[in-house]
Amino acid sequence: MKVFKIGVIAASLLLPLYAAAHDGECVERDAAITHIETVESAISGARFVGNPRKDKGGDFEKDNLLGKALAAKSYVMDHKYSDAISKLDDIITKVTSLLDAPKEKVDAYDGEYIVDMTIEAMYCVGDLQ
């Protein structure tokens, strides 16, 4: 997980460069919704690990994250872009905590992919503000 933490730190340092290069490519709500749907697909396809006999198993985490993505999409449809960004940030925070857990909670590759797609979605929604 130390490698992932270093990757997250490096990615956060590169975000301003990405934002400069991004150059407002999302100018319509449909593009932002498509990005959020990509996040939903990444979450749906991810391998979450948990004890199915307990409430907070892998399915719980997946459903929780899908709910956040759905809420973000609804906020975009309602022109509440800062709320959508907040929900997307919640996804990143939760997936990062799952990746940092002592026992595996989400496949590392899948978790990093969710974070990457969510960052892209955040920038796209930010372009609409």
Instruction: Work out how many domains the chain is built from and give that number.
Output: 1
The better pLDDT of the pair 11, 115 is held by 115
Q: Which CATH number belongs to the domain containing residue 90 in this structure?
A: 1.20.140
Cβ atoms < 10 Å from Cβ of 123: 19
Residue 66: pLDDT band with limits 50, 70, 90 = very high
Q: Are 49 and 106 in contact (CB under 8 A)?
A: yes
CA gap 127, 71 in Å, rounded: 18
Domain holding 30, by residue range, is 2-127
Measured distance between the N- and C-terminal CA atoms of the chain, rounded to whole angstroms = 35
Residues in Cβ contact with 94 at an 8 Å cutoff, skipping those fewer than 6 apart: 61, 64, 65, 68
pLDDT tens, position by position, 86-98: 999 999 999 999 9
Q: Which residue has the higher pLDDT, 84 or 49?
A: 84
